[in-house]
Amino acid sequence: MSKISYSKEVIRDLIEGKLPWSQTKSIISGYKDEDRFDKYVEVLQEKVAWQEKILLPLTHELYIVQKGSDRIVKCSCGQEFGDYRVNWKLNALIHVRESEEEVKELYPYPSAPDAEFCEIREFYCPGCGTQLWVETVPFGYPLVFDFLPDLDTFYAEWLKRPLPSQKEFTDLTCDFIAQNWAE
Amino acid sequence: MEQKVVNKGIGWGGNTLKEMLDKKKQLWSDTGCYYGLQELSLSASAPFKLELLHARLLAAVIAGRETTRMISAAPQVREVAELAVALYTPEGDCLLQSTGIIIHITLMGQVVEWMIEQGYEEEGINDGDCFTSNDNAISGLHPPDVYDITPIFWEGELIGWVGTVIMELEIGAVVPGCMPSGATDRFSEGLRLSAEKSAENDKHLKSFERRIRFGSRTPDLLLLNRKGALAANVKVREEVKKAVAEFGIDYYMGATRELVELERRAQLERVKRRTVPGKFHSPTTIEVDLTRTIAPPTHAIGRVTLIPCDFHIKPDGRYFLDFDGTGAWGWHAANTTPSAIQGAVSMILTQTIAYTGNANQGTSLAVDMNVPYDSFVWPSTPNFASGWLFSWPLSGGVKWMTQQSHAFFCRGFVEEFRSGVTTSSGVFGAMTGKDHLGNDFNFLSTEAAGCWGGGAFATRDGVTASAAFMPNVDMGSVEIWELMLPTLWLGRKLLPDSCGWGRYRSGYSALSTFLIYKTPLLAFDTSATFLEDKIYPNIGMFGGYPSQGAFSKLITNANTKELISQEKPLAHGMGNPDQSDLEKNIDGDLTVVTRGGIFVDSLAKDGDVYQCFYGAIASGVGDPIKRDPALARKDLDNGLLGIERCRSMHCIEAKYDQETEEWAVDEGATAELREKRSKERLAKGIPAKEWWEKRRQHLAEGRLPRLLKVMYNESLTKGQRWPGEFRRFWNLPETFTFKED
């Protein structure tokens, strides 16, 4: 069987939700294309205005990119969030929906989370004001580090092309807080 | 081929089942391969032959499931199809499965393993026997899910098992229904069938039938379901025998083991090709409120339990779930168990990554876990209440599914990204009182099972009907439900403005409106699946929000008879949310219920009206103000989105054209609204450091609800790793705990 592969145009339309459903369905049901990751990154790289190489897309708007010898999180608008091993939310703007009116805007019917118990945290990009994430967690829960990728394993062992330099796979969030925020 | 020994056990080759089980475990431990299979000779030499056998067996279990549906009288089986059938190895490992409530597939096999460990072989396992179990201390999700398990013999040797699971709607618990809010230990949850022999020679034992007859409020339905399950098992067993006759017993046994090992390897390979290794994290909180139901005073408390969970995708493709830091178990129905979590793992993988039709025990073998004993996820008593054991599986488990989707997204397989619907607080209507035929009546209406709005995808909106535990959803025909229940449906409608907001919104859930019919006395228990009422599940993705939770309304002393005689409008859906049709059109005493797991204070009777929004909580994906106006316009045209929230959530301006009866988007005004919103965000958002300082102060001074202090203290006391992470994040002392008032 020949290997499945899709054109960059198809991948672009797929990412943007513009591919007709019949084609999307056929991609879902079919064998997966082995060159997907590279085409995906290529399409996304063309969409952003900056030059740093995308190592891994994280969300609709955020990317881990290679910047010099660093790997940082960067928004599509260009805003930078620092080392990818530090939760990017530490460098975002936060708004917590606390008033009844603000909660009611989301939940117009009788049931709604209790703001005393539940923090509805909205995270905005300081560069463009995009809402990057929403957490609904118990009051006082640490900021959730949703995903810390093991980039070196991914590139070296899974894609079989190691990145130029190695970074230890470890969560540096608490180190960042200890060094920068704690009195 | 395995060497045959002189007959001493009932298992294949004359081995005892215990010997086979021990050998399997030893080989796994020694080699890391299922049954020690390092070479897969059958698939290497004749792959199509193996595929042919697999397809034959798969067809058998699917046909078995349909057989049961033809025999059962319960709408839950006939209409909603909450059942599944699976085939197992002699040791209880799943080989293949039908569609349906597949969360039970691995778990029925665990019952087989328990029976082997308990020495059932010495007590007697014979061709034509059936064993029935709903004991969740052995395995399972909750007592109404009843397992019927039948051995398969070939020439006097046990070569496998077939199991059928059916969800029952009444099992004789302390209050009606099958997962009552007030049951706080296993003794108040009704029939307890601990893998007991229920049939011999393919015929149910009279003693078993008597036990059912005296143990349930709806014994006819329960017994007929057992007949249906037995029929499915017999059908599958006979099909297996036909396959063995054709392929040969040595080939069959070898093939069953290779199919498991092949799938294990395939799962690891799929993970490496579709995901990205690393670590994900999310907390889940499960609430319990036993203060407004019939729980004994010693258990009648409210509590919140924290279940932090790390999900690792390892370099070798294995998954690892770490529940370190989970709080305490308690006398309530919402604990969970390792078995329930394993069921969730199997169910979710089968639907999201192992969907080739080959999912079996091998899929689950690629997943490891750390589940702390004597905690919420593993109670240290066999008598825990188990009505909502799917608490973590259907909330945290669904979050885990979404995290796996996140990994698909990062890898570029955006079409495979699916965020979750947690099923939390997705109330059902458990009813008790008199039915429309004058009988004492107790039942759980599960028309909503699986029909909640689903989480959004990465590139499209969520679907209207979805649930992780019920891949093929069906609310059932109203006319069939009406045969069973003293309620007439006035309407089933989607509830506008109730989605999880996002660039791609979640699906919409249904609102049902009922006229209470020909009953003088009816009580409702908002028998939730489990509660996330105060703290919504953390399932929003990429800037999207969780959707609206459930609620219900009851109007007693309603003037519906007068309205009907005057041919005036009743209520068929919500209408205008600010003044709903229910409240606008019908006079009476209104009770609004915003919590699951409680009894509705008022009693209903003929002519009253009950309305229930089955809102399980689903995720929106992406920033709501980046929504394509064309998608919003479609929702406006379909009456799913009001213009007020179209403006406030999506920053889209639109005008209604009376002539075309369609909405038109004002692109210029929309651009202005969006720019204004971005600026507002930049103005009101505070730097994370500022928020951290403020919140840390709150925590250090104990300015949070007492239930949360208890919740955090349980986790800080019980955890090994998580407590350190919590304290380090907040820069709190190494021994910090909250002072409980």
pLDDT digits (tens, 9 = 90+) for B682-723: 999 999 999 999 999 999 999 999 999 999 999 999 999 999
Judge if A100 and A27 occupy the same domain.
no
Residue B467 is assigned to a structural domain of this protein: yes
Number of A:B CB contacts under 8 A? Answer: 260
Residue A151 is assigned to a structural domain of this protein: yes
Contacts of A168 in chain B (CB under 8 A): none
| Domain that includes residue B580, residue range | 418-622
B331 Cβ neighbours under 8 A, 6+ residues apart: B184, B185, B298, B299, B384, B385
Q: How far apart are CA B101 and CA B107, in angstroms?
A: 11
| Domain that includes residue A161, residue range | 85-180
Judge if A114 and A30 occupy the same domain.
no
B297 Cβ neighbours under 8 A, 6+ residues apart: none
Contacts of A140 in chain B (CB under 8 A): 695, 698-699, 704, 708, 712
- Domain count within chain B: 4
User: Of B48, B35, B36, nearest to B95 (Cα)?
Assistant: B35
Q: How far apart are CA B636 and CA B231, in angstroms?
A: 49
Helix (H, G, I), strand (E, B) or coil at B459: coil
Token pair in block for residue A132:
């990057």
Across the interface, whether the CB atoms of A142 and B539 are under 8 A apart is answered no
Strand B203-204 relative to strand B487-494: parallel, antiparallel, unpaired?
unpaired
Residue A68 is assigned to a structural domain of this protein: no
- Domain count within chain A: 2
3-state helix, strand, coil in chain B (%, to 5): 40, 20, 40
State the Rg of chain B over Cα: 27
When scoring B511, B643, B729 by the number of chain A Cβ atoms within 10 A, the one with the most, hence best to mutate, is B729
Q: Of B574, B598, B622, which residue sits at a domain end?
A: B622
Nearest chain B CA: its distance from A51 CA (Å): 19
Residue-level pLDDT at A48:
98
Residue-wise burial string across B143-178, b where 16 or more C-beta atoms lie within 10 A, e elsewhere: bbbbbbbbbbbbeebbbbbbbbbbbbbbbbbbbbbb
pLDDT of residue A177 exceeding 80: yes
Residue-level pLDDT at A123:
98
Residue A104 is assigned to a structural domain of this protein: yes
User: Of B575, B597, B584, B441, nearest to B530 (Cα)?
Assistant: B597
Q: Across the interface, which of A56, A118, A145 has its CB nearest the CB of B410?
A: A56
Q: How far apart are CA B184 and CA B246, in angstroms?
A: 51
Q: Rounded to the nearest 10 degrees, what angle do helices B105-118 and B338-352 cross at? A: 140
User: Of B335, B413, B305, nearest to B710 (Cα)?
Assistant: B305
Q: How far apart are CA B723 and CA B741, in angstroms?
A: 21
Judge if A169 and A95 occupy the same domain.
yes
Q: How far apart are CA B189 and CA B192, in angstroms?
A: 8
Judge if A91 and A170 occupy the same domain.
yes
Q: How far apart are CA B5 and CA A178, in angstroms?
A: 66
Token pair in block for residue B590:
């209104």
Sheet order of strands, B130-133 included: B94-97, B83-88, B157-167, B145-154, B130-133, B196-200, B203-204
Residue A28 is assigned to a structural domain of this protein: yes
Judge if A38 and A102 occupy the same domain.
no
When scoring B314, B461, B536, B595 by the number of chain A Cβ atoms within 10 A, the one with the most, hence best to mutate, is B536
Q: How far apart are CA B551 and CA B580, in angstroms?
A: 14
Judge if B546 and B665 occupy the same domain.
no
- The end-to-end CA distance of chain B, in Å, is 67
Across the interface, whether the CB atoms of A129 and B677 are under 8 A apart is answered yes
Nearest chain B CA: its distance from A68 CA (Å): 22
As to burial, measured by CB atoms within 10 angstroms (0-12 exposed, 13-18 middle, 19+ buried), residue B357 is exposed
Q: What is the 3-state secondary structure (H, E, C) of B274-321?
A: HCCCEEEEEEEEEEEECCCCCCCCCCCCEEEEEEEEEEEECCCCCEEE
Could you list the beta-strand ranges (E) of B94-204. 94-97, 130-133, 145-154, 157-167, 196-200, 203-204
Q: Across the interface, which of B276, B645, B705 has its CB nearest the CB of A154?
A: B276
Judge if A106 and A24 occupy the same domain.
no
Judge if B581 and B547 occupy the same domain.
yes
Q: How far apart are CA B135 and CA B147, in angstroms?
A: 9
Q: Would you tell me how many other CB atoms lie within 10 Å of the CB of residue B87?
A: 27
Across the interface, whether the CB atoms of A178 and B731 are under 8 A apart is answered yes
Instruction: Give the CA dihedral B640, B641, B643, B645, nearest 10 degrees.
Output: 150
B473 Cβ neighbours under 8 A, 6+ residues apart: B449, B450, B451, B465, B466, B467
Token pair in block for residue B126:
């014979």
Residue B668 is assigned to a structural domain of this protein: yes
Nearest chain A CA: its distance from B199 CA (Å): 42
Judge if A109 and A164 occupy the same domain.
yes
Residue B370 is assigned to a structural domain of this protein: no
Q: How far apart are CA B721 and CA B279, in angstroms?
A: 15
Sheet order of strands, A118-124 included: A131-138, A118-124, A93-97, B686-687
Across the interface, whether the CB atoms of B549 and A107 are under 8 A apart is answered yes
Residue B132 is assigned to a structural domain of this protein: yes
Q: Across the interface, which of A37, A106, A180 has its CB nearest the CB of B545?
A: A106
Residue A64 is assigned to a structural domain of this protein: no
What Å distances lie between residue B442 and A39, B79, B112, B571, CA to CA?
A: 58, 19, 32, 26
Residue A43 is assigned to a structural domain of this protein: yes
Residue A36 is assigned to a structural domain of this protein: yes
Q: How far apart are CA B57 and CA B92, in angstroms?
A: 16
DSSP string computed for chain A: -PPP---HHHHHHHHTT-S-HHHHHHHHHSPPPTTHHHHHHHHHHHHSSS-SEEEEE-SSSEEEEEETTEEEEEETTS-EEEETTS-GGGGSEEEEE-SHHHHHHH--SS----TTTEEEEEEE-TTT--EEEEEEEETTPPPP--EEE-HHHIIIIISS---SS-------HHHHHHHHT--
Q: Across the interface, which of A34, A95, A138 has its CB nearest the CB of B711?
A: A138
Residue A11 is assigned to a structural domain of this protein: yes
Across the interface, whether the CB atoms of A118 and B534 are under 8 A apart is answered yes
Judge if B598 and B676 occupy the same domain.
no
What Å distances lie between residue B417 and B167, B245, B353, B394, CA to CA?
A: 30, 43, 11, 18
Residue-level pLDDT at B200:
98
Amino acid at the residue B253: M
Q: How far apart are CA A168 and CA A146, in angstroms?
A: 18
Length of chain A: 183
Q: How far apart are CA B705 and CA B712, in angstroms?
A: 11
User: Of B638, B615, B624, B630, nearest to B454 (Cα)?
Assistant: B615
Taking each continuous run of H as one helix and of E as one strand, the counts in chain B are: 22, 24
Q: How far apart are CA B165 and CA B99, in angstroms?
A: 11
Q: Of B236, B264, B292, which residue sits at a domain end?
A: B264
Across the interface, whether the CB atoms of A133 and B283 are under 8 A apart is answered no
Q: How far apart are CA B527 and CA B179, in angstroms?
A: 7
Q: Would you tell me how many other CB atoms lie within 10 Å of the CB of residue A83?
A: 18
- The end-to-end CA distance of chain A, in Å, is 62
What Å distances lie between residue B115 and B8, B21, B109, B263, CA to CA?
A: 18, 11, 10, 26
Strand B319-322 relative to strand B367-370: parallel, antiparallel, unpaired?
parallel
Judge if A121 and A171 occupy the same domain.
yes
Identify the segments of chain B with pLDDT beneath 70: 1-7, 176, 424-429, 450, 527-529
Token pair in block for residue B84:
């599944």
Residue-level pLDDT at B432:
86
Judge if B632 and B605 occupy the same domain.
no
Amino acid at the residue B601: D
Q: Of B622, B647, B674, which residue sits at a domain end?
A: B622
Contacts of B686 in chain A (CB under 8 A): 93-95
Judge if A167 and A97 occupy the same domain.
yes
Q: How far apart are CA B252 and CA B505, in angstroms?
A: 48
Q: List residues bridging with B124 in a β-sheet.
A: none
Residue-level pLDDT at B471:
76
